[in-house]
Structure 1
Amino acid sequence: MKIYQTIIIGAGQAGLVMGYYLKQLDQSFLIIDKSEAIGSSWKSRYDSLILFTPRQYSSLPGLKLAGNPHDYPTKDEIADYLITYRETFQLPVQTGIEVSRIWKENNHFLIETNKQIYEAENVVVATGPFQKPHIPAFTKNLSTDILQLHSSEYKNPANLRKGNVLVVGGGSSGGQIAVELSEERETYLSIGHKLQFLPNQIGNKSIFWWFDMLGITKAAPDSWLGRKVRAKGDPIFGYELKKAIEMGKVILKSRAISGEGTTVQFQDKSILHVQNIIWATGFQSDYSWINIKGILDQQGMPLQTKGETNIPGLYFLGLPWQTCRGSALLLGVGKDAQYIAELIDKRD
C-alpha cells in the first residue's frame, strides 16, 4: 500500500487551498472527495443563490475570481472557479471517494473508503461546515400532504406544490429563498431571533472592506471583538428581505416549535396551515467516521486549536471561527490553510 505524505479529505474551497499551500512547500499530497466533480456542492444549491461577499472578497490565494470585483458572484461562478483553481495549480484530486472510517495505526493514519484504504502520515479534514442537513424532529408529525424540502434540496419555485409556503430559518439562505418565493405566492418566514440587516455598501465601499479595516473579518473567536460579533449572530446583508417584509410580501412568524398534520405551531402560540415548507435551518456536523479517541467533544465537534489537534498529524480546516470570523469563508480560509501547511512541513 502506498503511504501518502498528506491526505486532504474534502475538495471544496478549504481542501483546494490546503493543497495550494502544500504544493508551495513541495509537499506530496492527495485530495479526496465524495462528490463526483469539484464544485458540485455549489452547483447543487438553489438556482438564484448569490454570495453576500463581492468578487474581490470571494477569491482563494493565488487566483483572483474573474469579473467585476464589486459585483456579487453566483453559486455557479464559484463552482467553476474551484474547477479552474484546481486546474491552474494542477492539484491532485480524486473524486467519488467517500470516507467511512479513519483510525491511527503504527503512527500512520488509515482511511477506509468506498474504493480502497489509504495510508498517510498526515490527514487534513476539510469537509467544511455543511455536512448533514438539520431538520427539526417534529417534522415526522407533519402530513405527507405538505411538501417539505431542506434549503439544500430546493432549486427554484417550480419545485413547490400549489399553495402557500413557510420558510423556516432567518439566515442568508432563508432570506433569499423567501424573497424569491414571495414574488409568486403567499410566503411566511419563521425566525427565532430578531433579524439584523446590514447594507452591502457604505460610502461606495463594500461592507467587507469596512469589516477588513475594522478588523472584524480577522477577529479571533476569544477576542473582545470576536465575542461581540459571535454574540450578535450573522446579519442579513442587503435590504431585499427587509423591503419584502415592509411591503407585506413576506409575513414574519415566530419560531416554529411543533407541527401536526398540515398545521405548524409557533412560539407565540399562533398556528398556520401550510402546503409547502422550506427548512432553511442549517446543517450539523458529522464526524462519527473518525475512530480516534479524544478528537471530538461531547457535542461531536473537533477538539482543535487553530486546526491542530492533540493527535500529531491530524488537522481540521474550514471550521466556522477556527481562528477568526472568516475561517469558513473563501476570503479567510487561506490563512488557516497556510498555517497548517507550515505545521505539516515542520513535521518532516
Structure 2
Amino acid sequence: MNRFGTVVIGGGQAGLVMGYHLKRRGEDFVILEGHPRIGDSWRRRYDSLRLFSPPRYASLPGLPIPVDDCPTRDEMGDYLEQYAAHFELPVRAGVRVTRVSRDAEGFRVETDEGEYLADQVIVAGGSHAVPQRPAFASELDPAIRQLHSLEYRNPEQLADGTVLVVGAANSGTDIALEAVKTHRTLLAGRHPGQVPVDIDSGRGRMMLPIVMFVFRHVLTRRTPMGRKALAEREGHGVTLVRNKLADLDAAGVVATSRIESVRDGQPVTAEGDILPDVGTVVWCTGSGPDHSFLDLPVFEGGRVRHERGVATGEPGLMFLGLEFQFAVASGTIQGLDRDARYLLRQLRQNTVRSASRPVTVDRR
C-alpha cells in the first residue's frame, strides 16, 4: 500500500504550486496526474491559444517561465514539465484517480494503478474538465457537426457551411476569429464587456499590475465589491481581455443573439429566427469541475462545500484552483501561490490520523 502524508490530485499548475510548497516544508507527499505527460492539460487546448499574461504573471513560484511574451499553450505545457523536473517534484503521470473515500486509516485514494492512503488530500485539478452544453444541443440535426471549445483544436475540424460559435467570451471570440478566415461565421451570445485597452500595447502593460492587484486583493470574498462580483459572475461570460468588438467586426464575424432552442433540427435565436445552412456548432458555453471521484459528503447543489478551499465538515480534504476560491485571481495562475500558502497553514490543523502512527512510505 502506498501511504503518504498528503496526496495531491492533479499535476497541472495548481498541483505543482502546491507541490512546490509541500516540498519546501519537507512534507511527505505525492502528486497524481491523470494525463500521460505533465502539461498535457494545456497541450490539449486549441492550437492557437495564447495566454493573456506576460512572463511575470505566467510564472509559478521559484522559476520564471523562459519566454519573452505571453506564452502559447505549448510553451505553457513545456514550462510545467520543466518546473516539475527543476524542483524534483514527485509527480506520477498517467495515474487516474477513480475514487476518494475515508476509512479508519484516513483517506483512501483509488486509482487505475492501485490504491494510496493519505492523511490529507488536496484536489488541485479538473476545474474545467466537464464540457457544458445546453440541453437542446442533442436536438440538432445529426448532420450538423458539434464541438465544444474543450474539443476544438483548429479550423480543419470545421465542416462545410456556416460556423456558429455559441458563447461570446474569450474562447468563443478566439475561435470565431480563426474560423472566419475560411468560413462564414456567426457569433451568438451576449457581449460580456471588454478590457478598454490593448493588453499587448505599452499602455496595456502599464495597466496590468493595477488589474492584477484588483483581481487579487479587491475582488475577494471578504469585500462587498468582491461578493457582488461573485454573484454577478453566475451565468455571464468572462470579460473579453485581448479581443475587441472592433476586431470581430473588422474580420467579418456576424453577431447574433442567444441560441435558445432548436426547431426542425436547426438552431433558433432568442427572437425566434432559424439559422439555416449551419454546418458546425462550436459550443463555447463553459466547463465545470470533475469531482465525480469524491465519494465523500462534501456536495451541496452539485458543488463542493468549502471555506477558502478547505472542505466543510471533512477535515483533511482541500481544494486548490477553484473559480473564485478566495478571489477572482484564484482560478488563474496569479492566484495559486497565495491560496496554496493558505492551505499549507491549514494542513497543520488536520486531525484525520494520529501523528504518532508509524508510516511506511513507498518511494518509487
Q: TM-score, normalised by structure 1?
A: 0.93
2:326 to 319, 323, 326: 323
Are residues 318 and 128 of structure 1, via their aligned partners in 2, closer, same or farther at CA, if it must alter by over 3 Å?
Answer: farther
2:250 is the alignment partner of 1:253: no
1:140-169 deviations in Å (ceiling 9; x for gaps): 111121111111111111111111100011
In the alignment, the residues of structure 1 paired with residue 21 and residue 251 of structure 2 have an alpha-carbon distance, to the nearest angstrom, of 49
2 CA distance for matches of 1:140 and 1:323? 36
Aligned match of 2:271 = 268
Residue 128 (structure 1) shift? 3.7
- What is residue 188 of structure 1 aligned with on the other side? 186
| Percent of residue pairs bearing the same amino acid type | 35
Amino acid corresponding to residue 184 of structure 2 in structure 1: E
What is aligned with 1:141? 139
Equivalent position to 1:111, from 98, 109, 112: 109
Q: CA deviation at 1:39?
A: 0.8
Aligned residue in 2 for 1:292: 296
In 2: Cα distance, 1:290 partner to 1:102 partner: 5
Q: Which runs of 4+ in 1 moved over 6 A?
A: none
Q: Extract unaligned runs of 5+ from structure 1.
A: none
Letter in 2 for 1:335: R
- One-letter code aligned to 1:12: G
Query: How large is the Cα RMSD of the aligned pairs?
Result: 1.8
Equivalent residue, structure 2, for 1:160: 158
Question: What is the rounded CA distance, in whole Å, between the counterparts of 1:269 and 1:258 in structure 2?
Answer: 9
SS in 2 for 1:66: coil
Distance 1:344 1:228 in 2: 30
Structure 2 stretches of 5 or more lacking a match? 356-364
Q: CA deviation at 1:285?
A: 2.3
Residue identity opposite 2:283 in structure 1: W
Aligned partner of 1:290: which letter? L
Which whole-Å CA distance do the structure 2 matches of 1:167 and 1:221 have between them? 33
Please give the residue correspondences for 1:58-77 in structure 2 after superposition, counting only pairs within 5 Å.
Answer: 58-68=58-68, 71-77=69-75
In the alignment, is residue 48 of structure 1 matched against residue 45 of structure 2?
A: no
Q: In structure 2, what is the Cα distance between the partners aligned to 1:248 and 1:118?
A: 52
Deviations 1:255-306 (A, max 9, x none): 111124551001121220211111111112232321112x1112x2111111
Q: Tell me, yes or no, if the aligned pair for 2:169 and 2:191 is still in contact at 8 Å.
A: no
Q: 2:92 matched to which residue of 1?
A: 94
Distance 1:106 1:98, change over 3 A: same
The whole-number CA distance in structure 2 between the counterparts of 1:264 and 1:222 is: 42
Cα 1:44–1:64 shift into 2, 3 Å: same
- The aligned residue for residue 307 of structure 1 is 309
Equivalent AA in structure 2 for residue 312 of structure 1: P
Distance change (3 Å), C-alpha of 1:252 and 1:101: same
Structure 2 CA distance for aligned equivalents of residues 183 and 262 of structure 1: 26
Please list the CA deviations of residues 198-237 of structure 1 after superposition, one character each: whole Å capped at 9, or x if unmatched. 1215735354312134x33333124122134442652101
Code of the aligned partner of 1:304:
H
Taking the aligned partners of 2:168 and 2:106, their CA distance within structure 1 comes to: 43
Deviates further, 257-266 or 173-182: 257-266
Q: CA deviation at 1:243?
A: 2.1
Equivalent residue letter for 2:9 = I
Q: Which amino acid aligns with 1:235?
A: T
In structure 1, the partner of 2:281 is 277
Match in the other structure for 1:170: 168
Counterpart code for 2:64:
K
- 1:167-246 aligned at under 5 Å gives the runs 167-191=165-189, 193-198=190-195, 199=197, 200=199, 203=203, 205-213=205-213, 215-218=214-217, 219-230=219-230, 231=232, 234-238=238-242, 240-246=243-249
The answer (yes or no) to whether the contact 1:128–1:319 under 8 Å persists in 2 is no
